[in-house]
Amino acid sequence: MELKVFGIRHHGPGSARSLRKALSAFDPDCLLIEGPADADKLIPYIAEKELKPPVAILIYDPKDFDWAGYFPFARFSPEWQAIKYGLKKEIETRFIDWPMGLAWEMESAEKQGKLFGEPGQGESLPKRKKWQNDPLRYMAQLAGYDDSERWWDVTFEQAANDLEVFDVISEMMQALRSELGHGDDSNLWREAYMRREIRKAVKAGKERIAVVCGAWHVPGLEGWEGIPASVDNKVFRGIRKRKTAGSWIPWTYERLAVSSGYGAGVVSPAWYRLLFDSRKEVSMRFLTRAARLLRQEKLDASSAQVIDAVHLAEGLASMRQLQIPGIGELREAALSTFCEGSLNRLQLIDERLVIGDRVGKVPGNIPQVPLMRDLEKAIKSARLRKEYESSESHRKVFDLRVKSNKDASTLLHRLQALDIPWGKLQESPEGALGSFQEKWRLKWRANFSLKVIEASVYGRSLEEAANNFVLKKAGETTSLTELSRMTGLCLLGELQLALPGVIKHLNRLAAQSGEINAMMEALPELVRIFRYGDVRQTPPEDVRILVHQWIPRIAIGLGAGCSGLNADEARAHFKRMQGVNQSVHLLEEGELEKQWMEALHKLAGLKTAAPMLQGAAARICFDQGMEGITQASMRMRYALSSIHEAEKASLWLEGFLHGSGLLLVYQPSLWEILDEWVDQLSPDHFKAILPLVRRAFSDFSDTEREALWKLANGEKSKLTDRYYALNESLQAVILPTLSMLLAKKSREAEIDGQN
């Protein structure tokens, strides 16, 4: 019996090339690979032509989805190439690392203080020792490198090594472990399990056994005969392996990269793929692609610059005694030639050609939960396959009059109901709530696959799972705002089974709650639902009933809710009040508008209310014609009178002037009151309230500020001149006609939206 251990770097293109040669030369009859043993049943699917890396094995606990692990593979991963070799040769090929079900149980037992034996040493450790050192740093420093990753790349991944490279790696790791120790104790536990699997292969009569593992584990596996089986078995005594399930899922180069947080990631997946496929021509291919990419972005990058860049990269490699230019040399060459020193251009090259945007594919015949199959069917029906298989962010505009677009909108809302935010709905411009268009930003993330599996416990189809999940969450939440959001998801996601139950919870919570603020926050969403539902021709009657119940309750409690607030609390409440005001007028129902405006009228004169909210109420009453300029002037003069503190006066002013400064331009009496108030302030008072007054004017446009500046300097602005030019007789003729035209335009837009 002959056993050979090949130490590799996970996702190393040079390791993968050398391993293919070594396996062909060794010609094993059994191939054992570092990887979770409970994923063995997924190995045969690698032979499928439609399974295209990058992909990942997902192992999870079907009873507790908090326990899950991802094991990615790229085309340049040595393990991937080894499995492809084993399947092609039709030899026994399996994973030998400890199963995730066992690893999780050991982790749980360790947290409970259980002691584990240390294989080969017979000691018990009170807890796992974490190792923070980088063992390869010493080798890198000896070779003149500050970065061990860079040293390993140059030495083992970029170089064209002979088969003896595996003996060199083994000898190096033996020396490092002798000098520095084994590292994290979990390394020893894993090696104990892998040695058990090696013994199984030997006992089964295999003659030529090839073991592929991370380079650090080579010494622990090559010495398998020197450690008694009883010592390794003792480590796992009393630990029951939990049941797991697994599947293949698509992965991305972005997620494979170190920057994504994946522990065994690499800095440059796209570069590694090119290095694996075309090592001899890698410089020319990389820089040609870089130039092509820049030209696609309408940036200059000529063929002559590519040639110059190749020569520069090769010259740098020669100076640094490298066999071929590495990614560092190529980036420097690109920056100096067609990037013209621009780091922004170089960043584009890094994103596309160093990290890359490749997304893997998993064929439909690979076992999946029914919910995932239904999701992929819905994605295909909605014509979103391209966005699903891309790692890039996509902007989509859906015309809800088109069936496939409406299906896509329904699909995205159902996923949001399941807390799977594939799409983010972009806010529509003010006044476009009844539009038949939706704007989305889409980006599928690899961890969404696990979320789909988690959601599968709620149903076999997307509709069933979303209905059940929303009903469950609705019964648990105590937030009116959240329940309002769920109501919207039910409507827009066509979750008809869940909608009555969610509204029932919403109504019950509103009846029990005396918190007017929560109702004010939730109301705009309910009104949006009602109006938007009208566009989809599915207006929920229950929502209309809720709106008609809430607005009178909000109006009754408005004054009490606006009293006893400090400045910050008042600003927060001001936003709620604005939302309710817009919603009430959007409904265009006379009785509700009347109740709301009467409440605002009382608030404008309520002495106990926060000054900002008093001012805001007075402004709304003036804008809606409930109060004329005479009454507005009286309120302003009283608020800015000397009997009030300057700070309170400035807060009233902030609420009254919010939204537009044209009121001061077109109403000279208000400007005069403001001017008198500022003039009577002492220098100390003026300095104290200046930040507050500045806040009140901060939202004004440049045109408005210019007009106010002229008024302050005793000039009349053009805006003021236009106002004075429009005498009362002309106003009596023009304004009614203008109102009629605007109302007609509004009705036409409403009808167009419904159609």
Beta carbons of 487 and 502 less than 8 angstroms apart: yes
pLDDT in tens, 561-589: 888 888 888 888 888 898 898 888 888 88
Both tokens of 158, joined, read 């970029």
By CB atoms closer than 10 A (0-12, 13-18, 19+), residue 693 is buried
Closest CA to 485 of 423, 529, 548: 529
pLDDT score for 22 = 94
Per-residue DSSP letter, 146:
S
Q: How high is the pLDDT of residue 653?
A: 76
- Please give the Cα distance from 306 to 285 (Å, whole number): 10
Highest-pLDDT range among 223-232, 252-261, 711-720: 223-232
Side chain identity, residue 318: S
Predicted confidence (pLDDT) at residue 643 exceeds the cutoff of 60:
no
The band of 130, judged by pLDDT with boundaries at 50, 70 and 90, is very low
Q: Quick one: pLDDT band at residue 675, thresholds 50, 70, 90?
A: low
**Confidence (pLDDT) at 706:** 66
Structure tokens at 80: 């991937």
pLDDT per position as a tens digit, 28-59: 999 999 999 999 999 999 999 899 999 989 89
CB 287 within 8 A of CB 309: yes
Q: How far is CA 55 from CA 39, 46, 134, 523, in A?
A: 14, 10, 28, 45
Return mean pLDDT, the chain: 81
Give residue 260's pLDDT: 39
pLDDT of 259 higher than 50: no
CA torsion sign for 211, 215, 220, 222 is positive
Q: How far apart are CA 119 and CA 193, in angstroms?
A: 10
Residue that the structure tokens 């608020």 belong to:
639
pLDDT per residue as tens digits for the range 274-333: 999 988 898 999 999 999 999 988 888 899 999 999 999 999 999 988 888 988 899 999
With cut-offs at 50, 70 and 90, classify the pLDDT of residue 554. confident
The predicted-structure confidence for 374-398, as pLDDT tens digits, reads as follows 998 999 999 998 888 777 788 999 9
* Widest CA span in the chain: 110
The contacts of residue 61 (CB under 8 Å, 6+ apart) are 67, 68, 101, 104, 242, 243, 244, 245
- Stretch (H or E) spanning 441: strand 437-442
Q: What are the pLDDT digits (tens) for 62-72? A: 888 778 888 99
| Angle (deg, nearest 10), helices 567-587 and 646-657 | 20
Percent pLDDT > 90 in the chain is: 28
For residue 94, the model assigns a pLDDT of: 95
What pLDDT was estimated at residue 322? 87
pLDDT score, position 430: 45
pLDDT at residue 124 is higher than 60: no
Identify the CA nearest to 101 among candidates 2, 204, 214, 236.
Answer: 236
Axis crossing angle, helix 303-319 with helix 327-336, rounded to the nearest 10: 140
Q: Indicate left, alpha or beta for 515 from its phi (over 0: left) and psi (-120 to 50: alpha).
A: beta
Q: pLDDT tens for residues 412-453? A: 999 999 999 999 988 764 444 445 788 999 998 877 887 888
Using one digit for the tens of pLDDT, what is the confidence trace for 463-499? 999 999 999 999 888 888 888 888 888 888 888 889 8
Say yes or no to pLDDT of 709 above 90: no
Measure the CA–CA gap between 349 and 272, rounded to whole angstroms: 14
pLDDT tens column, 4-29: 999 999 999 999 999 999 999 999 99
Instruction: Looking at mean pLDDT, say which of 251-255, 258-262, 513-517 comes out highest.
Output: 251-255
pLDDT at 401 over 60: yes
Summarize pLDDT for 510-553 with one digit per residue, the tens. Answer: 777 666 787 888 788 778 767 655 445 555 676 777 788 888 88
Check residue 702 and give its pLDDT: 65
| 754: confidence class by pLDDT, cuts 50, 70, 90 | very low
Q: What is the mean pLDDT of residues 139-143?
A: 83
Which two structure tokens, joined as six digits, stand for 745? Answer: 């335009």
What confidence tens digit (pLDDT) does each residue in 167-207 have?
999 999 998 888 777 666 778 888 999 999 999 999 999 99
The answer, yes or no, to whether residue 662 has pLDDT greater than 90, is no
Kindly state the percentage of the chain with pLDDT values over 70.
79
- Give pLDDT, residue 567: 81
pLDDT of 405 above 70: yes
The DSSP bridge pattern shows strands 423-425 and 30-36 to be unpaired
The per-residue DSSP string of 240-302 comes to: PPPP-EEEEEE-BHHHHBGGGT-TT-BS-HHHHHHHHH-STTHHHHHHHHHHHHHHHTT----
Instruction: Indicate the helix (H) or strand (E) that contains 395.
Output: strand 394-399
pLDDT given for residue 734 in this prediction: 66
Tell me the three state secondary structure of residue 519.
helix
Greatest mean pLDDT among 26-40, 218-232, 479-493, 639-653 lies in: 26-40
CA distance 65 to 85: 33
Taking the chain, what is the end-to-end CA distance rounded to the nearest angstrom? 78
